[in-house]
Structure 1
Amino acid sequence: MESQAVLRVVLLPWKPCIHLTLLLVQLSLPEVRASCHILRCNSEFVAATFDLSSGGGSAVSREVVNAGYCSALRTYAICTKKMARPCRGDLAYHSAVQGIEDLLIQHHCPRVGPTAQPRPLPQGTLSADTCLYEKSFYSREGRLPEFLHCSVFGDLHIRTFDNDFHTCAVQGAWPLIDNEYLYIQATTSPARGEAYPTVLTKITVIFKNWRQCIDQQLYQAELDNVPAAFADGSVWSGERRGHRSLTVRTESPGRHTEIRAVHIGTLVVVRQSGRSLSLSIRSPREIVDAFGPDHDLQLCMWGCPASQKLNTLRPPLLNSLAPAAVSAEDHCALLLPAQDVYYQACVFDLITSGDLNSSMAAVSALQDARNMISNKERVHLLPASHAGNTNPCVMLLLLLGMLGVVGGA
């Protein structure tokens, strides 16, 4: 009895503490769940400085431009301060804060002063279909938009919006698409050391701020990490009159993601096949062509640079690489009976990687093409009779890599 009394004395005082702790946790949940909208701050700063010239002209004009830039930086700083708590663990937020400090010093901007005025919204009442691209286009043009398709897959193959087919030896970060609405960047790495072709290891997709429909939104995928969510953890964005402008879904978590952007009528599919990523996109011509002359490097528009092209059709020395070449052809013929560019890409990838799983990149790219191209006669592309300009050094490295695969077989 005496020990029980002592136990009550020890335990009972903890009850109000437990209740208080739970209450504090509940009160803090909204703060924890608050979204970090640092991308909104970034896009507002870009919008505020978009019309500022890069310099030049008279001293007076340079002073005006710098004053406008300083105003935009101060506004940017205010926006980041508002995001301090929900963004406290976000690396992009801390990078933005440091970048603002550096730019304020670099441009000799006073900490106190006028701030940038928000860009005015378009005049007039927005229709219910403003954020539904296809309906809006049909109402305006009386017809459905023309859709274009691009895909990037394997070691590294590109089907451009104009239905050209290239195999590239590019390494590092390259823009696939860069227009007024969308930016997509591909990062490639050597598949197996420097003697092998490159594969896609990272994909970055930025849906740019469009005030009527969405704030800027970021999606990133890396090898072995294809999330079914945007970078901020959300799976949709931009709700207007019951419609969501951006949505993310998956049929195979960690291996596949589809992003629908109805405000620009665009579908983006990201996959992992074997040890590489792939991307397919379907977008209206009006959206694809919405860029200026300074955005002259887009792999989905013009393919890879001439100096970086490889010959997907078998190089002459490949005929001597039996039985690897024959085995690759037989395997790909079972998966891809049509002797098109997808079949050629499959054979190329199998020989250069020695990995049977690499054939699935071409299979998935062909399936995406079937889903995204309405005219079924245009799905299959016949390989060109000869490759474009080929870098001899790159070709030599490729052949050495293939000989290494055969020798190790």
Structure 2
Amino acid sequence: MQSPRERSEVRPRAGWMVMGKRGRPSALDVCRVLAVFLSLFPSVSLQCKILKCNSEFWASTSNSGPEEEFCTALRAYNSCVRRTARTCRGDLAYHSAQHGIEDLMSQHNCSREGPTSQPRSRTPVPPPALPLPPDSQERSDGPEVCHYERSLPRNTAPPNYTHCGFFGDPHLRTFGDDFQTCKVEGAWPLIHNKYLSVQVTNTPVVPGSMATATSKLTIIFKNFQECVDQKMYHAETDELPAAFADGSKNGGDRHGANTLRVVEKVAGQHVEIQARYIGTTIVVRQVGRYLTFAVRMPEEVVNSVEEGDDQDLYLCLHGCPANQRIDFRNFKARSVEAHSTSRTRSTAAQGFTYQSAKAKCKERLPVEDLYFQSCVFDLLSSGDINFTMAAYYAFEDVKMLHSNSKRYHIFEKDAFMNNAPQRGKDFLSLLLLNVLAVILWIECCTAHL
């Protein structure tokens, strides 16, 4: 039985393919995926006009027609995307559109040279997703290839599951159990591998403040063999859907569709996405006006990165960039100092002093680990009491998703060591130099004797 990594090496670039019954994507299927993906992707800014290109392509291919018409519309779409290159160069949706166009041109044997079309002025409504037959056990459960643990070779060690969490103002727990507090305003990718991508958008909590929190979240599950179609889940403040963007609650019209499904736990507050075909569980919550994210994922899936991707950009894998991190120790020292000076008034104006924030967080988080410290940090930086619950639920998700109960809590000394790899390298370098100096000194003394 092949593992997901082995299977991914022989499959085509499925992330942009929506296969029909005969194995060939129809124009309507392709348009639907492109339209949903690019219309809702949160990294699109006012300056990046990728949405305009998407809407024109959607309008011009809304009705299935001859292959020549589709190629004409695709060339027009390609030209439109190329015109956005200057303003969209750093946008993930722009780069995804580029790859998608390449795949579609190859699939439909479209020439880059030829006429382009003008979009038709209409706004079609995508058809509703077809439900799976309730009496079909095979279609409900799917073949073994659609169940991660079943698909592993026999007599192999159980998979190692890892956890990543993102919550509050915002705080990141990486797959390696590093705990960081970051600025990361705007759109940032949390995960990006061969099977799925996750991106968050963080917005200021208080005008003029450095405090930010997650207001949008997009998850793209890529097309995977006979198991699932490409699906996208998009959530934002006051909109936590109980379904994917196309209205479906599972992985599409395939034999293993129910190995990917959306389960609503608490309406408008708590959603769980189960992707059994890759052994992954994702929890999305809205706490107050902001979203939290937590995931449990096999290490093999975590490391299934695409060749050529710069993985340093993906926060759950490598953490926040150094220039985006906030030092807990310095913030704590400044807060304690402010408590004993006239600056206490300005802190209290936000609703909390350092001591009152600690008391409030103690109600939900009795252990003074970094979840507790993050709660204190958020109350002081924002004054929003809902961040107390964000830290509480983030820790509850750790207890549900983390595979090692001894590592639920992370304390300040652990984070200091985890977040300072360069400091460790510097120490080792200094130690080595000292050892070499001692050796040289001994040799010199011996030579003189």
C-alpha offsets along residues 143-196 of structure 1, whole Å, 9 cap, x if unaligned? Answer: 321100000000010000000011100111111000000100011111111323
> Corresponding residue for 2:314?
298
Q: Quick one: distance in 2 between partners of 1:131 and 1:219?
A: 20
Aligned pair in 2 of structure 1 residues 284, 155: CA closer, same or farther (>3 Å)? same
Contact persistence 2:146–2:256 (CA under 8 A) = no
Shift of the 242–254 alpha-carbon distance from structure 1 to 2, 3 Å rule, reads same
Match of 1:102 in 2: 77
Question: Which amino acid is 2:114 matched to?
Answer: P
Total equivalences in the alignment: 302
SS at 2:271's partner residue? strand
SS at match of 1:220: strand
Deviation at 1:228, TM superposition (A): 1.0
Q: Secondary structure at the match of 2:242?
A: coil
What displacement does 1:129 show?
0.8
2:148 equivalent to 1:133: yes
**Range with bigger deviation, 247-256 or 100-109:** 100-109
Partner of 2:107: none
Residue of structure 2 in register with 1:14 after alignment: none
TM-score for both structures, normalised by structure 1: 0.67
Contact 1:239 1:245 in 2 (8 A): no
Q: Is the alpha carbon distance of 1:44 and 1:241 closer, same or farther for their aligned partners in structure 2, counting shifts above 3 Å?
A: closer
| Mapped partners of 2:382, 2:216: distance in 1 | 19
User: Does residue 257 in structure 1 map to residue 218 in structure 2?
Assistant: no
Q: Secondary structure at the match of 1:348?
A: helix
Provide the residue aligned with 2:242 in structure 1.
Answer: 228
Q: Does 1:202 align with 2:216?
A: yes
Amino acid at match of 1:133: Y
In structure 2, the CA distance between the partners of 1:310 and 1:131, relative to structure 1 (3 Å rule), is same
For 1:289 and 1:44, the matched residues in 2 are separated by 18
- 1:259, CA displacement in angstroms? 0.3
Structure 1 residue 212, shift from structure 2 partner:
2.1
In structure 2, the CA distance between the partners of 1:235 and 1:348, relative to structure 1 (3 Å rule), is same
**Aligned partner of 1:353 among 377, 382, 391:** 382
SS at match of 2:207: coil
Conserved? CA contact 1:104–1:110, under 8 Å: no
Identity %: 37
* Equivalence for 2:207: 193
Matched with 1:316 is: 333
Listed one character per residue, the Cα deviations across residues 87-134 of structure 1 (whole Å, up to 9, x for unaligned) are: 89x95773543783231687843369xxxxxxxxxxxxxx93100001
Write the distance in 2 (CA, Å) between the matches of 1:376 and 1:286.
Answer: 21
Distance 2:29 2:79 in 1: 15
Would you say the 8 A contact 2:280–2:297 is kept in 1? Answer: yes
Describe how 1:4-403 pairs up with structure 2 within 5 A: 46=16, 79-80=27-28, 94=55, 96-97=57-58, 100=74, 101-103=76-78, 108-110=112-114, 128-137=143-152, 139-238=153-252, 241=255, 244-291=258-305, 292-296=307-311, 297-313=313-329, 314-322=331-339, 324-384=353-413, 386=416
Task: Output the amino acid matched with 2:353.
Answer: A
Q: Deviations over 1:316-358 (max 9, x none)?
A: 2211333710000011112111111100111001111112121
> In the superposition, relative to structure 1, how do residues 82 and 136 fare at CA in structure 2: closer, same or farther (>3 Å)?
closer
Does the C-alpha gap of structure 1 residues 239 and 144 become closer, same or farther in structure 2, counting only changes over 3 Å? Answer: farther
CA contact (8 A) 2:250 2:257 kept: no
Aligned partners of 2:15, 2:365: CA distance in 1, in Å?
Answer: 48
Shift of the alpha carbon at 1:83?
A: 6.3
Q: 2: distance between equivalents of 1:154 and 1:110? A: 51
Question: CA offsets, 1:65-101, max 9 Å, x none?
Answer: xxxxxxxxxx98x6138868xx89x957735437832
Deviates more, 1:181-190 or 1:306-315: 306-315
Any conservation in 1 of the 2:31–2:57 contact (CA below 8 Å)? no
Q: What is the SS of the residue equivalent to 1:315?
A: helix
* Partners of 1:146 and 1:95 in 2: CA distance: 45
Q: Within 1, Cα distance between the matches of 2:114 and 2:14?
A: 20
Q: Which has the higher Rg, Structure 1 or Structure 2? A: 1
CA distance, structure 2, for counterparts of residue 201 and residue 378 of structure 1: 29
CA distance in structure 2 between the aligned counterparts of 1:362 and 1:298, rounded to whole angstroms: 22
Cα distance between partner residues in 2 of 1:266 and 1:140: 20
Question: What secondary structure, in the 3-state scheme, does the structure 2 residue paired with 1:142 have?
Answer: coil
Contact 1:225 1:255 in 2 (8 A): no
Distance 2:172 2:368 in 1: 17
Q: Which deviations, in whole Å up to 9, do the C-alpha atoms of 1:380-400 show, x marking residues without a partner?
A: 1112375968xxxxxxxxxxx
Query: C-alpha distance in 2, partners of 1:226/1:377?
Result: 32
Relative to structure 1, the CA distance from residue 262 to residue 276 in structure 2 (aligned partners, 3 Å threshold; closer, same or farther) is same
**Contact 1:179 / 1:295 at 8 angstroms: preserved in 2?**
no
Moved more, 178-187 or 97-106: 97-106
Report the alpha carbon displacement of residue 376 of structure 1 after superposing the two structures with TM.
Answer: 0.8
Q: Is the 8 A contact 2:251 2:257 kept in 1?
A: no
Structure 2 unaligned residues grouped into runs of 5+: 1-12, 19-23, 41-53, 61-72, 83-110, 117-141, 340-351, 421-449
Counterparts of 1:242 and 1:289 in 2: how far apart (Å)?
A: 24
- Could you tell me whether the CA contact under 8 Å between 1:269 and 1:281 is conserved in 2? yes
Instruction: Tell me which amino acid in the other structure corresponds to 2:332.
Output: P
What's the CA shift for 1:140? 4.0
Specify every segment of 5 or more residues in structure 1 that has no aligned partner in the other structure, as ranges. Answer: 1-42, 49-74, 113-126, 390-409
* Distance 1:130-1:386 versus aligned 2 partners, 3 A rule: closer
